[in-house]
Amino acid sequence: MTLGDILKESWLSISGNKLRSFLTVLGIIIGVMAVVIMVAVGETVQLSITDQFSSLGTNTIVIRAGAARRGGIRSGNRNTLTIQDAEQIQKLPDVMSITPAQSGSAQVIYGNKNWSTMMLGAHPDYTVIQDIEMTHGTFFDMTAVKNASTYAVIGPDTARELGLPDNPVGEIIRIQNMPFVVIGVMKARGDSSFGSQDDMIIIPITTLKKRLQGSPFPDSVTMVALKIYQDADNAVVTDQISALLRQRHRIKDGDEDDFQITDMKQIMETMDTVTGYLKLLLIAIAAVSLLVGSIGIMNMMLVSVVERTREIGIRKAVGARERIIIIQFLSESVLISFIGSMFGLVFGVGLSQGIGRFILKYNVPFSIWPVILSVSVAVIVGLASGVMPAFRAAKLNPIDSLRYE
Amino acid sequence: MTNQVNIINLKKICKIFPLEIGGEQQVLFDISFTIQSGEFVAIMGPSGSGKSTCMNIIGALDSATSGTYELYGKDITTLSPDDLATIRNEYIGFVFQNFNLLPKRNILDNVMLPLMYRGIDVNDRIRRAREMLKLVGLENFESYLPTQLSGGMKQRVAIARALSGNPKLILADEPTGSLDSKMGNEILKFFKKLNTDMGITIVIITHEFDIAQYAKRVIHIYDGRITYDGAVPKNETVLLKSQKESHK
């Protein structure tokens, strides 16, 4: 008996009872489809979160002024961080770029257009830390910082909302009624979970502190962001910064920090673990539906053995050995699983792409491993659920089988 | 008759069945006979006489509890189920009362079935099955399903299937039981033709004396014992007398 004979016999048996075979196949289709969709959705969620964090860079460390929490309330408005702190941190060997920063909202006017947006005071290194590219003009340099120049770098959305010309470099805008020269427009970066990065204005930190805010503490900042070298260890640098700042801020042993260090790598690792568990949970739910599908196959095959008792007797009478009967029944259940898994795969990939495009608004990556996994699991499920019925069929006594009504 | 060889050689065959309610029942007692190639034998007996059990053992569908069974000189008494399957495939062609065709396979597939299990090439299978269908006069029906055929045609398909494997022996269990007398006679004539023209050994199991008359030899079984073994008598009385004698 050749492989072709086995497949032909299996196909004829399956197609001989179309409705029942269809319902059985449906169980596997739903099971495999669920696995493919759940894996794809899980991966997409994981990837989109990773992407958002990656846009900030895993080698980015952010220091915020104020203790992490005090009596349950974060006291972040204390002016505990200074531009001098940033200058000292820059001297650490692993620090590549650093910027002190402070944000606030700004009312911006251009011509007769009035727009409220986020404003950030920073150093030129901000472009390195945030991987900022320009479409027009340039970012301000350290001379502008030293001189507290009224230069503004704007996001593409801000430029659009203000009705600035296509190349707005050299245009004058008014921020809190102070005229600023637009010296550059940033390249669009899209939205992130931290808000739009395209609707903001960046000006020198000194301009923000001295000119716009007229702060009595012009050197204090709410935040210091820095990027370390790729081969540097985030934890080591974090410890070094912590030690340096505690010493500079004269914090006694046992006292709480008056700053908070956020390590993007650590956050990303935590998010990765959380989304990993989420993915596992989704796969586990999908696996249950695949298991239910496999029980459907076993049920069908067991019924089939009873219904086809006489057929088995005939086959045995004309010379079918037990092994052949086992192979035939196993191949039927595997074929059902295989057909089901193929349809499940097609529907699963199609639906997950649809979910990605229309619901998650994200390109769902097509990875081969759920394909291999679900098809192999389906084939194994088919084999496993066919074993008992196949052996039951093979062990039937030919005489009793031939007499079976 | 010079080239005749023993095809079937039963020596002191006993068969005991366990009963579901406990205990056991012996249905065959020391059955011994030989059948030579080219013979046409009817194994006769009333219902419950043990003739079907005898046929199952001859057909390698069942094993004897004791005694020995040689088929074509080979002792098959203690073979495994798989070895018995191979023996059935190579040596025996079955024709059953209720045809036992696969209902969802066409006629050609049904006839090819024993050849598939023998591992014969597809093209050779088809060629051989078509030859057999032509032999039984059904060459134009190969794509039909068994349900589309009359009883007589179904039995001819069953004969074609039995012959397709080129067996040494055809075992027919009440082959006319599901047919009307006209169809039944046609089938029996066909068996006779196979026996005389092609020299195929035929063993028919029946409880009807009319059918046994087509054979050359009758083995009469009653209560699990052989009461008559010889040429077909002119009337059934001889067999009934032998049955009565066995009680003494």
* Predicted local confidence at residue A90, as pLDDT: 92
Segment B46-58 shows an average pLDDT of 90
Find chain A residues with C-beta within 8 A of B169's C-beta: none
Residue of higher predicted confidence among A74 and B68? B68
Q: Which of A395, A326, A329, A316 has its CA nearest to residue B89?
A: A316
Tell me which chain A residues have a C-beta less than 8 angstroms from the C-beta of B174. Answer: none
The total of other beta-carbon atoms located within 10 Å of residue A5's CB is: 17
> Please, which residues bridge with residue A184 across strands?
A137, A153
| Secondary element (H or E) of residue B146 | none
The arithmetic mean of pLDDT across residues A73-81, rounded, is: 62
pLDDT of the residue at A154: 94
Phi-psi region for residue A352, left (φ > 0), alpha (ψ -120 to 50) or beta?
Answer: alpha
Residues of A with CB under 8 A from a CB of B: 1-2, 4-5, 12-13, 16, 310-311, 313-324, 398-399, 402
Confidence at residue A397, expressed as pLDDT on a 0 to 100 scale: 84
Nearest to A322 among B81, B96, B165 (CB): B81
User: For residue range A316-325, what is the model confidence (pLDDT) as tens digits?
Assistant: 999 999 999 9
Q: How confident is the model at residue A94 (pLDDT cuts 50, 70, 90)?
A: very high
pLDDT interval class at A69 (50, 70, 90): low
Kindly report which listed range (A262-271, B58-67, B140-149) carries the lowest average pLDDT score: A262-271
* pLDDT score of A298: 83
User: What is the count of residue pairs from A and B with beta carbons less than 8 Å apart?
Assistant: 64
Q: State the number of CA atoms in the 13 A half-sphere of B167 facing the CB.
A: 33
DSSP secondary structure code for residue B201 in this structure? E
Q: What is the CATH number of domain B6-245?
A: 3.40.50.300
pLDDT band at A124 (very low <50, low <70, confident <90, very high): very high
Return d(Cα A35, Cα A242) in angstroms, integer: 45
Percentage of chain B modeled with pLDDT above 70: 98
- Token pair 């900030």 is at which residue? A56
Given this model, what pLDDT does residue B226 score? 92
Label residue A198 by pLDDT band (50, 70, 90): confident
* Å between B164 CA and nearest CA of chain A: 11
Give the residue with greater pLDDT, B241 vs B217: B217
Highest mean pLDDT among A296-305, A312-321, B175-184: A312-321
Give residue A76's pLDDT: 47
Chain A CA closest to residue B106: A12
- The CA-CA-CA angle for residues A208, A209, A211, to 5°, reads 70
Q: Pick the most confident of A66-75, A82-91, A278-287.
A: A82-91
In this complex, is the C-beta atom of B62 within 8 Å of any C-beta atom belonging to chain A?
yes
B246/chain A closest Cα distance in angstroms? 29
pLDDT number for residue B113: 94
User: Is the pLDDT confidence value at A207 over 90?
Assistant: yes
pLDDT confidence bin for A115, thresholds 50/70/90:
very high
Residue B218 has pLDDT above 60, yes or no: yes
**Chain B residues in contact with A2 (beta carbon < 8 A):** 119, 122
Check residues A77 and A304 and name the one with the higher pLDDT.
A304
Average pLDDT, chain A: 85
Q: Closest Cα to residue B238, out of B48, B44, B35, B49?
A: B44
For residue A339 the two structure tokens come to: 């057909």
Going along A147-302, which residue ranges are E strands? 151-154, 172-175, 178-186, 191-192, 195-196, 200-204, 220-221, 223-228, 259-263
The pLDDT value recorded for residue B1 is 45
Instruction: Outline where B92-236 has alpha helix (H).
Output: 107-118, 122-135, 151-164, 181-198, 209-212
Contact at CB, A315 and B96, closer than 8 angstroms? no
pLDDT value of position A56? 64
Residues of B in contact with A396 (CB under 8 A): none
Average pLDDT score, chain B: 89
B120-153 burial, b if ≥16 CB within 10 A, otherwise e? beeeebbebbbebbebbebeebbeebbeebebbb
| Interchain contact B154–A (C-beta under 8 A) | no
User: A305 pLDDT band (50/70/90 cuts)?
Assistant: confident
Domain ranges for chain B, please list them: 6-245
Q: Letter for the amino acid at B169? A: L
Q: pLDDT band at residue B178, thresholds of 50, 70 and 90? A: confident
pLDDT band at A194 (very low <50, low <70, confident <90, very high): very low
Mind telling me how many Å the CA of B241 is from chain A's nearest CA?
A: 32
What mean pLDDT comes out for the span A88-92?
A: 93
Chain B residues in contact with A13 (beta carbon < 8 A): 104
For residue A156, pLDDT over 50 is answered with yes
pLDDT at A216 over 60: yes
- Which residue from A2, A5, A311 is facing B102, i.e. has the nearest CB? A311
Q: Which of A44, A47, A48, A189 is nearest to A127 (CA)?
A: A189
Chain A residues with CB under 8 Å of B102 CB are 311, 314
- What whole-number distance in Å separates Cα of residue A340 and Cα of residue A322? 27
Q: What is the pTM of this model?
A: 0.69
Q: Is B88 on the interface with A (CB under 8 A)?
A: yes
Question: Pick from B56, B88, B101: which is nearest to A319 by CB?
Answer: B88
Question: What CA dihedral angle connects A379, A385, A391 and A392, to 10 degrees?
Answer: -150
pLDDT in tens, A236-250: 999 999 999 999 988
